[in-house]
Structure 1
Amino acid sequence: MNKVDVSNELTHLVNGTNTYHNLSVPQLVEKVLERKEGVLTASGAVRATTGKYTGRSPKDKFIVEEASIKDKIDWGTVNQPISEEVFEKLYVKVIEHLKKKNEIFVFKGFAGADVRYRLPIQVVNEFAWHNLFAHQLFIRPETDNDLENYDTKEAFTIVSAPTFKADPSVDGTNSEAFIMLSFEKRIVLIGGTEYAGEMKKSIFSVMNFLLPENNILSMHCSANVGQEGDVALFFGLSGTGKTTLSADPKRRLIGDDEHGWSNSGVFNIEGGCYAKCIGLSREKEPQIFDAIRFGSVLENVVLDDESRVPDYDNAFFTENTRAAYPIEAIDNIVKPSLAGHPNTIIFLTADAFGVLPPISKLTKEQAMYHFLSGYTSKLAGTERGITSPQTTFSTCFGSPFLPLQATRYAEMLGQKIDEHNVQVFLVNTGWTGGEYGVGSRMKLSYTRAMVQAALEGELENVETIQDNVFGLHIPLQVPGVPDEVLQPVKTWDNEDAYYKKAKELAEAFKDNFKKFSNVSEAIVKQGGPIV
């Protein structure tokens, strides 16, 4: 089967008599309830469950090995190759599967809030609630003119068929589930999994390929803007406080997860938010809590049988409970979701070893080193068999979604830091006074004070001392934070124990960094630990 055949198959499906195009939120909610795909919660949100797949399935994700992109992809365990033949045979099966359905749902919209760089996307769904998810997570057309100018040939199409189960022995997959990305055919093929997040992250993977090709840095981060127009980026893995710290009542949200940085500034890739909601409360995260209303989608959240009130503390289905809602559900936002060049970048880590400074200023080389490292730690007790903190490294704070060599993204970041004189800080929201189980978690009030000082430029010319293990530059004073908290060695009772743990983490950094064979010597020597 050639490219034209694939295109025609899709056209026939999308234009079928059983297909609904760009239904409104109320229409989609009605369909979800009519088809018994989900239920209404007390706040008016739709709750759906996803069966056995309650998170992403990285071992089932593939990129089609095509001539035009073959030499550009960073092939490996993250970007697994699949042949064009395997993709096309499975694609035909999925299309035939969907043709037999009574109803198919199509959403046409965009990825990228900056109209100069936005990508037309088309989402073809077997489930109405998946189409509602796509409607809320991607950028919605605001006028008829938006769709009149929609270029179908340029669009990337997601074809999602959760009830189609692959046969690995016949279809060449690793399991019944599959997520396959074809850059030449501009198709994402998803089957065997009901987890809606696969759609969101597939388009992010697409943008992580396309944007750098156009000299735009794609980033897995949140972004906000202050009253003076100053822009801040927050990078951090799960549990580091990215959502909490970027949701600032004094600053407007640009976006909470995916951004591009062009020659004009920063723009949100998405039109919505996909927030973890385990343990959610109005007291801790009022913006997210109040955003979950009519039109929002709750994934795998336990409800009270009678009242339909969500129990956000209940992890019966999974710890990875999620809420999807349009960014307009947040009051304090930038609309459209774009702003100027960043003034400040914050890398967040939750160091359970208790040895990284609570805040440190980074040189450009250190920024690139820590961006490539993407460090945080798993805590003892979170997984069976873990009795002490475990180091976790996720390249560029988003390794599962990077099709290109990691150094490509780091080099672009370094260039932009230089070009725009960006201040970069590493903020440790983890432990102080000892490792997990001995010390205590850094007070949120201290972390907020440090972040605020960084954002307001109060640390630009402050006196610093260099950490003698990691080489980081530690401010000697930060308003609202006791001086002794700033230098981790001073918070430990036993100095020898501190240095033992610090050197242990430093070695982990260096071991992890060995995988970057094409990094400049300056980053290796000037960016990482100095012991």
Structure 2
Amino acid sequence: MVNHKSLIEGLVNKPSTQKQLSNAELVEASIRRGEAVLTNTGALRAQTGEYTGRSPKDRFIVKDSVSDSKIDWGEVNQPISQEIFDNLFEKVTTYLNDKEELFVFNGYAGADPHTQLQLQVVNEFSWHNMFAKTMFIRPETKEEAAGIDPEFTIVSAPTFKADPEVDGTGSEVFVLVSLEKKIILIGGTEYGGEMKKSIFSIMNYLLPEQGVMSMHCSANVGENKDVALFFGLSGTGKTTLSADPERDLIGDDEHGWNDDGVFNIEGGCYAKTINLSKEKEPEIFEAIKFGAVLENVVIDEEGNPDYDDGSLTENTRAAYPLDHIDNARIPSVAGHPKTIVFLTADAFGVLPPIAKLSKDQAMYHFLSGFTSKLAGTERGVTTPQPVFSTCFGSPFLPLHATVYANMLGDLIDKHDVNVYLVNTGWTGGEYGVGKRMNLAHTRSMVRRAISGDLELGEFVKDEMFGLSIPTSVTGVPSEILAPINTWESTDAYNEKAQGLKDKFIENFKKFGPESAEIAEKGGF
């Protein structure tokens, strides 16, 4: 029988294993080991090779007595046997034991002390350890770190490649989660985001069991304690819109909502940097300094990052500590939300730039989690494609989607929360015909929604989607508020809108009878 705890302790307690290093020490080690380079902003830049994003098809959960009856098994939560996990675990720990150096970080997930997860990260790469230190919540002292008794441990060996025929994996990459052993085993990929999202998946399993809502969203709060949540998939503007200089940032990606209010799960931000500019996103631009980690950002010979260059990947990233944002709230906790914003980048150009949702509509759109995939972003994609990611985070949800949707509905009711759908995508036609929503207009709409100004105005019902559209928003041209008015051809709009509506309806069928009432009350 494999003694998992003993094997991990063997790695952690090796004489050459370096624990709880400072940023300066991790930067020095990363450069010395040839893993990364320092840019002229002070940020560390690493390249992740072949894998520049997550590998969802290579993520598995061990099917055992703990997980069997609780996990929503399927394409997202793929089962794997205890035997396969144990065999790979032994191989990986043996492999890492032969390395001259290993790097260990002890920290936390969750700013709420009552539900905080104590965790440990064991890394082959020093820059991965700096990434973990950046993204998770950091102990204040080495003494505090040494006192952490890990409830979950990540073991990451990016240069260990699995043999699918021998090891029972889908490819050379593997992200294996054992809820019983409380271990996450990662190999074959150098992409840092696998560590971050694996812990988020664990929190999405643990928090609901404690009656706490877990959410893939960003959050901020104004001086009047008006908390706002922003849900949205990659590319919808979640990080950009939550980094508002007029409001304190609670966090940019992962949160919990308990009886006291909301709290950040992380200690850092993980922002996309493609086309990043100081003019459009000054808070994020200025946060990329010493202590930050850049992934796959092209730099010139003088060390200048070129955020417009997507030759390595469009998924260029910056990980930076939360306190790199001047107006970050630390500790990252706040009261109950007054406003929830669902962000979508509709490349079909048929959804309104902003619409108010009833509670039932909010649950429907939460379960749908719609955005678009653009032509040219993936091989073979020549026209906009709809993307439905349940609860705006389906790859990270171990439980059935209705667990999260029902919790959200109850919280909306309990705290009388206003919910808005905001389209940051296209207007006046689909991608290639219309144009992208003006960011300044979107900011104005979001600010008016959060301030409560929109509640004082008039709304009209959109005939196609049944959404309530404001007739006017301060600082926004009224003619863009109803999307049908922005198209040259009404017939063309109706055809495209009906097509998207049909896709919503078809997608919702996957939730089965558990969601029938939500579809009836909140759907189209």
TM over 0.5: yes
Show the counterpart of 2:423. 428
Structure 1 stretch displaced more, 42-51 or 140-149: 140-149
Structure 2 counterpart of 1:443: 438
The answer to whether the aligner puts 1:190 opposite 2:186 as a matched pair is yes
1:174 to 170, 186, 190: 170
1:312 to 286, 307, 310: 307
Confirm whether residue 466 of structure 1 aligns to residue 464 of structure 2: no
For residues 326-371 of structure 1, give each alpha carbon's deviation from its aligned partner in whole angstroms, at most 9, with x where no partner exists.
1111111111011001000000111122211111110111000000
User: What letter matches 1:168 in structure 2?
Assistant: P
TM-superposed deviation, 1:145: 6.1
Do the aligned partners of 1:365 and 1:522 also contact (CA within 8 Å) in 2? no
Look up the match of 2:268: 272
Residue in structure 2 matching 1:99, options 85, 93, 97: 97
The normalised TM-score by structure 1 is 0.96
Report if aligned partners of 1:349, 1:428 keep a CA contact under 8 Å in 2.
yes
Structure 1 Cα separation of the partners of residues 190 and 376 of structure 2: 29
- Give the AA of the match of 1:275: A
Distance 2:373 2:19 in 1: 43
Give the C-alpha shift of residue 38 in structure 1. 1.3
Contact 1:54–1:195, Cα closer than 8 Å, also in 2:
yes
Counterpart secondary structure, 2:378: coil
Q: Is the 8 A contact 2:106 2:146 kept in 1?
A: no
| Residue of structure 2 equivalent to 1:365 | 360
Question: d(CA) in 2 for partners of 1:325 and 1:161?
Answer: 23
Change (3 A) 1:484 1:43: closer
Deviations 1:262-316 (A, max 9, x none): 11111000001111112222122111211111121111122212x1111222223
How far the C-alpha of 1:149 sits from its partner, in A, is: 4.8
How far apart, CA to CA, are the structure 1 residues paired with 2:314 and 2:402? 32
Letter paired with 2:250 = I
Matching residue within 30, 33, 36 for 1:32: 30
Q: Is the 8 A contact 2:245 2:283 kept in 1?
A: no
User: Which of the residues 374, 378, 381 maps onto 1:379?
Assistant: 374
Q: Which amino acid letter does the alignment assign opposite residue 229 of structure 2?
A: L
Q: TM-score, normalised by structure 2?
A: 0.97
The answer as to whether partners of 1:407 and 1:518 remain within 8 angstroms in 2 is: no
Q: What is the rounded CA distance, in whole Å, between the counterparts of 2:374 and 2:310 in structure 1?
A: 18
The residue aligned with 1:301 is: 297
Say whether residues 1:48 and 2:46 are aligned partners: yes
Q: Which residue of 2 aligns with 1:214?
A: 210
Percent of residue pairs bearing the same amino acid type = 65
- For 1:74, the aligned partner's letter is D
Unaligned runs of 5+ in 1: none
Which contiguous aligned blocks of 4+ residues in structure 1 show a shift greater than 6 angstroms?
none
Contact 1:211 1:218 in 2 (8 A): yes
Using a 3 Å threshold, how does the CA distance of structure 1 residues 465 and 301 change in structure 2: closer, same or farther?
same
Aligned to 1:114: 112
Rounded to whole Å, the distance in 2 between the matches of 1:356 and 1:380 is 18
Q: AA paired with 1:182?
A: S
State how far apart, in whole Å, the 2-side matches of 1:429 and 1:320 are. 18
**Where do 5+ consecutive residues of structure 2 fail to align?**
none
Structure 2 equivalent of residue 161 of structure 1:
157
In the TM superposition, residue 118 of structure 1 has moved relative to its aligned partner by 0.7
> CA separation in 1, counterparts of 2:275 and 2:296?
13
Q: Does 1:235 align with 2:245?
A: no
Which of 53, 78, 81 is the equivalent residue of 2:79? 81
What is the number of equivalent residue pairs in this alignment? 524
1:179-227 per-residue CA deviation (whole Å, 9 max, x = no partner) reads 0000111100011111111111110111111111111111111100011
Residue 173 of structure 1 aligns with an amino acid whose one-letter code is: T
Root-mean-square deviation (Å): 1.4
The answer (yes or no) to whether the contact 1:50–1:194 under 8 Å persists in 2 is yes
User: Is 2:343 the counterpart of 1:348?
Assistant: yes
* Pair 161,71 (structure 1): closer, same or farther in 2 beyond 3 Å: same
Residues 5-24 of structure 1 mapped to structure 2, 5 A cutoff: 5-24=3-22
Cα–Cα, structure 1 residues 193 and 437, in superposed 2: closer, same or farther, change >3 Å? closer
Is contact 2:131-2:319 (8 Å) kept?
yes
Q: Which residue of 2 aligns with 1:205?
A: 201
Secondary structure at the counterpart of residue 460 of structure 1: helix
| Contact 2:262-2:335 at 8 Å conserved across structures | yes
